[in-house]
Amino acid sequence: MFYINCIVHQMCKTNTFSLSLRFVEGFKTLGLLKELQKNPIVFHDIFMCEEKPVTARDLSSLFTVAYFAQGSNRRALENQLVCFWRDWLIDIEVAFFHCYSL
């Protein structure tokens, strides 16, 4: 039993080390690791701040609608689609908070 515990312990230690190396390699992509090391305070809020749930407003603000000319048939369809999209985001937000409040 002692040998199994040693093997499992070594495997966990090795896998954790391997995962951390891959994590660092990922941060080297596009020079992110270098920027993190130069400006740690700038990235503090991204990695260390209190977790805030994503709201429908947050998701909606990520997108900008490029509308067709006003009065066209395409514009009417776009307006309807945007309404459906925003309603769906609100429905998802309500369902998400409802699940976690039970």
Domain ranges of the chain: 1-49, 51-102
Portion of the chain with pLDDT greater than 90, in percent: 16
Contact criterion met (CB below 8 Å) for 68 and 74: yes
Q: Residue 14's pLDDT is what?
A: 62
What's phi and psi for 70, nearest 5 deg? -65, 135
More confident residue, 73 or 97: 73
Asked if residue 93 has pLDDT above 80, the reply is yes
pLDDT digits (tens, 9 = 90+) for 24-72: 888 787 788 888 888 888 777 777 766 777 788 888 888 888 899 999 9
pTM above 0.85, yes or no: no
Contact 78, 65 (CB under 8 A): yes
Tokens of 94: 């309500």
